[in-house]
Amino acid sequence: MANTISNYGLNLIKRFEGCRLSAYRDTVGVITIGYGWTKPIDGKPLTMGTKITQAKAESLLKEGLKSYESKVNKYDNKYHWNQNQFDALVSFCYNIGNINGLTANGTRSISQIADKFLSYNKANGRVIAGLTSRRKEERQLFLKTDITQSANTNYLNTVNKYTQKDFVRDIQKAIGAKVDGIAGNETLSKTVTVSITKNIKHAVVKPIQKYLNTLGYNCGTVDGITGQKFDSAVKKFQEANGCKIDGEITARKKTWQKLLKF
């Protein structure tokens, strides 16, 4: 399933774009309306006399973001974006038009992409204070490893409510190990392999979903089933923690060890 922007990311865009219900010219002279909308509306080109309602501005923004989400999702197989990275990049993309230059067509690393954000703060060769502020905030969000500011309701209810010790205890209960909240050899030895194709409904799946959500890797609804969101979240966690990126959690590899902080 393709990534979609969270409410936090949406509000970030709204804040920087601002909303004007009468058409105006932006800093480079382009006729604009609503939250930075520059395309025709209902088949009619924008003119300086165009006016819209607040409801129309909201619907135009949501409709317009779909193409920018697609442009960011184009690189998801390469980078396995977490929610914060995705939100930051959609904001950037909505403002700039694409992320091809930012990512060098998918050849830059995550850290290199972060470093490049601040370069995109000019219009017609001039540094724009508003763009500088936007790039700084987008970069800060891009580098943020948790989702405590995100309002994605699919997983917000687990944030800051599920600790590492809670996770270890729940895993120990699920695998029949001593329940003490401390991940030792016994816990690791009793772990089972789970992935989108193996043990898709094992008792350890819910704790893993809750914990990955807490860490900022969006598993969506905590339902105990290893579906596409689970697979994507595991792969993102693996990439960030130096594990083999295969979506499979097994003690023979690093993923269980990294999750349990063994």
In DSSP notation, 1-17 reads ------HHHHHHHHHHH
Instruction: Establish whether 17 is a catalytic residue.
Output: yes
Please report the sign of the dihedral spanned by the C-alpha atoms of residue 112, residue 117, residue 119, residue 123.
positive
Helices (H), 97-204: 100-103, 110-116, 129-143, 164-175, 185-190
CA distance 145 to 166: 20
Instruction: Measure CA of the first residue to CA of the last residue in the chain; give whole Å.
Output: 31
Q: Which two tokens stand for residue 80?
A: 């396995």
Of the candidates 129, 56, 116, the one whose C-alpha atom is nearest the C-alpha of residue 88 is 116
H or E stretch covering 23: strand 20-25
Helix, strand, coil percent values for the chain (each to nearest 5) = 50, 10, 45
CA 25 vs. chain centroid, Å, equals 31
Residue type, 236: K
Q: Which two tokens stand for residue 31?
A: 């006729």
Residue that the structure tokens 């050899």 belong to: 185
Cβ proximity of 102 and 116 under 8 Å? yes
Among 17, 69, 138, 248, the one annotated catalytic: 17
CA distance 215 to 210: 9
Provide the annotated active-site residues: 17
